[in-house]
A and B are shown apart, each in its own frame.
Chain A
Amino acid sequence: MTKKLLFAFFLMYASLCSQAQTTDTANDWLGELKVGIRVQKTQKLYWENGFAADFTSPKIINNKLHLGFSYVTSRLGSAMGTNAIKQDNYVVNFGYFFRDQKKLQPFTRINTGFFYADYESDIFDELPNTALLFSLDAGISYRLKAPITFHLSAGYNFTSGSGDQGPGTLYPIYYQMSIFYTILNKK
């Protein structure tokens, strides 16, 4: 079910991209590109921090659909200098932002990607340590006068570990804060 949904989404997105590329110049295609840092806290587990990028295009629902990528890891959070499990989250997301021209924009996102946990000993080789990520989150975005944008959101991960399957330190509820710097803006 999840895989089918994602596949349909990718097809739709690829179709939009190919149309844009054949009829418009690359310049028309560019909207806004932001890069920044992301801080993530899982309910009752780790801080996982890292990097994020966010892209919009006037050709895709008039800049309301955001395409993002992020990498957050406990290596830059709870596992720094401690015994917390080192784990990585590679995520792409598709977000719909409301109130496009306003400073304050509510948004909701579909996130998918890959999770990896390093148990660091072959004793635990039989335990699952990878997972496909699939989560939804919602929050608010606030744009300052300077080219800085804040995102705050809370999400639910549908593929958390259950004891029978999935990595045990993949938890369902998480909170995120991202701070972006706009490096390209053709809106």
Chain B
Amino acid sequence: MSTTYLNFKFILICSLLFTCCSSNPEIDNATMLDGDQIFDASLYNPAQYLVSKAIDNPSAIQKNMPVIIAVHGYSAATFEWDEFRTYSNANADILISQVLLGGHGRTYEEFKKSTWRDWQEPIMTEYNALIAKGYTNINFAGSSTACPLVLDLIQKGAITDNGMKNIFLIDPIVIPADKLLTLIGFVGPMLGYFESTNTATEENYYYHFRPQETLNELMDLIDKVRKNLQNGYRLPLGTQMKVYKSIKDDTADAVSAVLIYKGLKKQDGSAIEVEMIDSNLHVFTRLDGRDTVTQKDRDMQKQVFDDMLQLLQQ
């Protein structure tokens, strides 16, 4: 997926010129996730992706192992955390649940009718299933839109004291980079959907067409989270948070990290950890499928994965 995930300025001009209502997009079922032939892999084999499905009766050792719920961003799929799974399998002794957001990884129509609360639901489903099975060392890693989803869960008190040990946020979005997203309520209904420029590999894992309804949902979510951060709240007891944020990010403005740092404190009132990353990629931890990846990008990915694994195993 291109890091420029929407060219709103161009679309705004088009909307003013034509002000027409758009029909459904032309979806190539054979190559696009949006169609009715390609679905997220976790839907075919949940046990390969979810710890709660993979292990019926966890042993005492397994119950105390770090389990990380890894969640992708808006319009993406479980693919976004595949590289972390591969790296962790080779370098650490942890369990990973790669959760597919509600409405994602399926057809365009299912994505279109989903709300951000639908997106959020599978996170809680997996979290509750892990708690019910007796896991005691549950952690969370989210990229992009997964971050405001978990921030909302924290604010609502859905994550209990000692319910999660570590929460890692990769390129969280609270402030959009393209500020014209704030006009989605006006221009969205005129256009119907927006198109992204994915690489050939990304077409299998990221929606090509973004229904305006879902962008409205995204705007509602981040607006709610921003206001909650403005008022301030605290992490549950026993929970640590670390934010990793690209300095230049054309999807999630880097100032999102400032808002999280100011608005969310640990239970004792002390500051959470934030590391600003010298990168211009959105979700810099996902490199597979990109057109251009530098050695510096790979080094940065490894550095952050190592840091996360170290914190998980402390």
A1 within 8 A of B: no
A19 within 8 A of B: no
Query: Which residues on the B side are within 8 Å of A126 (C-beta)?
Result: 247, 276
Tell me the nearest residue of chain A to B262, going by C-beta: A83
Tell me whether B280 and A127 are in contact (CB under 8 A). no
Within 8 A of A (CB), among B251-280: 251-259, 261-263, 274, 276, 280
Q: Pick the residue among A43, A45, A123 that contacts B276 (CB under 8 A).
A: A123
Question: Is B223 touching A168 in the complex (CB atoms < 8 A)?
Answer: no
Residue of A nearest to B257 (CB): A124
In the bound complex, what is the Cα–Cα distance between A171 and B230 (angstroms)? Answer: 17
Q: Which of A43, A82, A124, A169 contacts B183 (CB 8 A)?
A: A43
A164 contacts chain B at the CB level, 8 A cutoff: yes
List B contacts of A60 (CB < 8 A).
none
Q: Contacts of A119 on B, CB cut-off 8 Å?
A: 255, 258
A148 within 8 A of B: no
Stretch in A108-116, A138-146, A155-163 touching the partner: A155-163
A-B contacts at CB below 8 angstroms, number: 83
Question: Measured between alpha carbons, how far is A124 from B180 in the docked complex, in Å?
Answer: 24
Number of interface residues of B (CB under 8 A): 32
Count of chain A residues near B, Cβ 8 A: 27
B80 an interface residue at 8 Å Cβ cutoff?
no
The interface residues of chain A lying within 8 Å CB-to-CB of B133 are: none
Stretch at the interface among B33-41, B57-65, B171-179: B171-179
Give chain A residues whose Cβ lies under 8 Å from the Cβ of B263.
Answer: 83
Determine if B231 and A162 form an interchain contact, defined as CB atoms under 8 angstroms apart: no
Contact A163 B258 (CB under 8 A): no
Contact with B along A152-181 (1 / 0, CB 8 A): 000000001111100111011100000000
Q: Does A121 contact B (CB under 8 A)?
A: yes
Q: Does B213 contact A (CB under 8 A)?
A: no
Which of A85, A167, A172, A173 has a CB less than 8 Å from the CB of B259? A85
- 0/1 interface trace, chain B 217-247, chain A, CB 8 Å (1 if under): 0010001000001111000000000000001
Give the complex CA separation of A120 and B247 in angstroms.
Answer: 17
Quick one: which of B148-186 are within 8 Å of A by CB?
175, 177-180, 182-183
Q: Are A82 and B231 in contact (CB under 8 A)?
A: yes
C-alpha spacing A126/B223, complex, angstroms: 25
A:35-51 near B, CB below 8 Å:
43-45
A168→B254 contact, CB < 8 A: yes
Interface check B248, CB cutoff 8 A: yes
8 Å CB contact of B254 from A44, A45, A85, A127: A127
B203 on the A face (CB < 8 A)? no
Taking A44-B182, A44-B223, A163-B178 as contacts, is the C-beta distance between A168 and B231 under 8 angstroms?
no
Q: How far is the CA of A168 from the CA of B178 in the complex (A)?
A: 10
Q: Answer yes or no: A70 CB below 8 A from chain B CBs.
A: no
CA distance A171 to B183 in the complex (A): 11
In the complex, A3 Cα to B175 Cα: how many Å?
A: 28
Could you say which residues of chain A place their CB within 8 Å of the CB of B202?
Answer: none
Decide yes or no whether A84 CB sits under 8 A from chain B: yes
**B259 adjacent to A121 (CB under 8 Å):** no
Taking CB atoms, residues of chain A closer than 8 Å to B230 are 78, 82-84
Measured CB to CB, the closest approach of chain A to B41, in angstroms, equals 30
The complex places the Cα of A160 from the Cα of B8 at a distance, in Å, of 14
Q: Hey, which chain A residues are within 8 Å of B257, CB to CB?
A: 124
Say if the beta carbon of B250 comes within 8 Å of chain A: yes
Question: Which residues in B have their C-beta under 8 angstroms from that of A121?
Answer: 258, 261
User: How far apart sit A167 and B180, CA to CA, in the bound complex (Å)?
Assistant: 15
A163 to B175, CA, bound (A): 9
Residue of B nearest to A117 (CB): B255
For the complex with contacts A85-B255, A172-B180, 12 further pairs of A-B residues with Cβ separation under 8 Å are A83-B230, A83-B262, A84-B230, A123-B261, A124-B276, A127-B258, A160-B179, A161-B177, A162-B250, A163-B178, A168-B253, A172-B182
A residues adjacent to B (C-beta < 8 A)? 43-45, 78, 82-85, 117, 119-121, 123-124, 126-127, 160-164, 167-169, 171-173
Binding site for A on B (CB under 8 A): 175, 177-180, 182-183, 219, 223, 229-232, 247-259, 261-263, 274, 276, 280
Chosen A-B contacts, 20 in total, with CB atoms closer than 8 Å, are A43-B183, A44-B219, A78-B230, A83-B230, A83-B259, A85-B255, A85-B259, A121-B258, A124-B261, A124-B276, A127-B276, A161-B253, A162-B177, A163-B177, A163-B252, A163-B254, A164-B280, A169-B175, A172-B182, A173-B183
